[in-house]
Amino acid sequence: MKRKPIKRIWFFLALVTIAAGCTTPATPPATESTSGATAAISADNANSLKHILQVDSGEDAASVAWAADGSAVWVVNPNGASLYASESLDMIGMYESGPEAVVYDVSSDGDSALVSMGGSALEIFNVSSGETSTRIPAEYPFASASFSPDGSLAAVPAMDAWEVTIWDTDSGEAVQTLTGFETAAPVYDAFFGAHSDTLIWTARATVQPMTISSESMGPPLYHEDFVSTVAISPDGQVIATSAAATIGDSFQPAITLWDAASGEILRQVGIPTAVNALDFSPDGILIAAGTQDGMLILTSPEGSTAGKITIDGEGVFSLDFSPDGTYLLAGGSSGTVQVFAVIP
């Protein structure tokens, strides 16, 4: 599963506790299913995206992610981390919330959650067994963590040093400690890119990729304002960021497309409202942007508008293309989760 940098924003905000077991509470039945969509979303049909499924996950913003096999979707908000069947959005599993723990990430296998208990112990909890499978003994202060795309590793940045430790999720042993990112910002984060060999460092107005195997830093990407969200293309060649920028004579919300290898700007696009989420399609040709009033679909790396969807009364907080590129999952600012597709 592609890494979703937008989730890093959510996991800093959400406080959710993982219960000792898994339950399957009833949810309102979906009125349609995803079985009718046959066309992959493309630049030619993105403007024809239609809403086909919806579920209310709670009263707060929802972070969403597909399982790698497309059979289920994760939804995380202050009510907990829940798993829904993708064809119907019927709930099939739930980690109930509580006062002390934080869900930092969910795995691409649709089973595991990376959880901090009280800001100290870090655990991997499996929904299928209802038990903790691995404990990661990070003996340093941390405030975020992320799975690698295949779930075999976890990156845990330290709060008291510019370093990230990579942990094996099966054994709970430290594999590698990475350094090299430098910034004056007191708060930073780091998460896996589209591949397990890429780490993306972020701090306020700076984003910088790193090749893990060689421990070499890529070019820093500097912005005029704080970066709200980051996405990297599946092939690792293009990085998309959202931050206000000066375009012409106007300082406005913008999406910037960068060459990951050189750090050069490929295209900068002004947006009417702030962007909360970015996600590349599986083929890397499209970028979906979640805004205060809906979604915008751009081509990559040209930045041309391929589609626009207005959602009344609902800002889009999180986005994820399905693994086959046929559906677009959107988590709303009020907890509404919607599935969009091109229906023939």
As a 3-state breakdown, the chain gives helix, strand, coil percent values, each rounded to 5, of 5, 50, 50
Name the residue type at position 275: V
| Residue 40, phi then psi, degrees to nearest 5 | -65, 145
Task: Please give the Cα distance from 17 to 170 (Å, whole number).
Answer: 22
- pLDDT tens over the chain, length 344 residues: 444 433 433 333 332 222 333 333 333 334 455 555 578 999 999 999 999 999 988 767 889 999 999 999 999 876 678 899 999 999 998 877 667 778 899 999 999 999 887 767 899 988 888 888 999 999 899 989 999 999 999 999 999 899 999 999 999 999 999 999 988 777 899 999 988 999 999 999 999 999 999 999 999 999 999 999 999 999 999 999 999 999 999 999 999 999 999 999 999 999 999 999 999 999 999 999 999 999 999 999 999 999 999 987 789 999 999 999 999 999 998 889 999 999 87
The pLDDT, as a whole number, for residue 344 is 77
Nearest CA to 12 out of 98, 93, 76 is that of: 76
Contact 14, 206 (CB under 8 A): no
CA distance 157 to 7: 15
CATH superfamily for domain 5-341: YVTN repeat-like/Quinoprotein amine dehydrogenase (2.130.10.10)
Euclidean distance between CA atoms 229 and 3, whole angstroms: 12
Q: Are 278 and 6 in contact (CB under 8 A)?
A: yes
CA–CA separation, 17 vs 325, rounded Å?
32
CA neighbor of 224 nearest in space, from 200, 271, 199, 256? 256
Query: What span, in angstroms and rounded, lies between the C-alpha atoms of 237 and 299?
Result: 14
Instruction: Name, in order, each residue with C-beta under 8 angstroms of 186's C-beta and a sequence gap of 6 or more.
Output: none
Which of 268, 259, 265 is CA-nearest to residue 298? 268
| DSSP-H helix ranges across the chain | 5-13
Instruction: Indicate the SS3 state at residue 161.
Output: coil
Tokens representing 276 are 């909360």
In terms of Cα–Cα distance, which of 57, 56, 58, 83 is closest to 71?
83
**Domain layout of the chain by residue ranges:** 5-341
Q: What is the separation of C-alpha 151 from the centre of its chain, rounded to a whole number of angstroms?
A: 14
Tokens encoding 28: 């309102």
